[in-house]
Amino acid sequence: MKYIAMIYGNQAKWDSFSPEEWSEVVAKQAAFNAKYRETGELLGAYGLADAEAAQLVRRKDGVPVVTDGPYLETKEYIGSLYLLDCESLERAQQIVAEMPLADTDPIELWPVLHESAADM
């Protein structure tokens, strides 16, 4: 079963890390990623740009209409997301609990109900 794990944050949180602390978090996350890529349970890990880089895209009269910013008016936004492939929900929970930021922040875990191959 596949799962999406999401780390939320906000600009104030990211800015509160000193360069040394940020380097440590990145190194711990890289070790986590390597460990679970090796087991085949981590299919992808993606760090997202800051919320100010987000855009909303709609279609009006067949033409894209683009506006700035995330849809939700919130301070929190998705900072990273991970695609896992695990034998059970319990295994996905164990893996997510090992994420470095899980010591201080909850990680949101969602089952993936269906998927469509990108190469179709």
List, in order of start, the domains of the chain with CATH numbers. 2-111 (3.30.70.1060)
Residue 8 and residue 41 in contact, taking contact as beta carbons nearer than 8 Å = no
What pLDDT does 73 receive?
Answer: 63
Distance, in Å, from the CA atom of 29 to the CA atom of 42, rounded to the nearest integer, reads 12
Residue 117's φ and ψ, nearest 5 degrees, are -60, 135
What pLDDT does 17 receive?
Answer: 87
Q: What is the DSSP letter of 78?
A: E
Distance, in Å, from the CA atom of 105 to the CA atom of 85, rounded to the nearest integer, reads 22
What are the pLDDT tens digits along the chain (120 aa)?
999 999 988 778 888 889 999 899 899 999 999 999 999 999 999 988 887 788 888 899 999 999 887 666 667 788 899 999 999 999 999 999 999 989 888 899 999 998 777 765
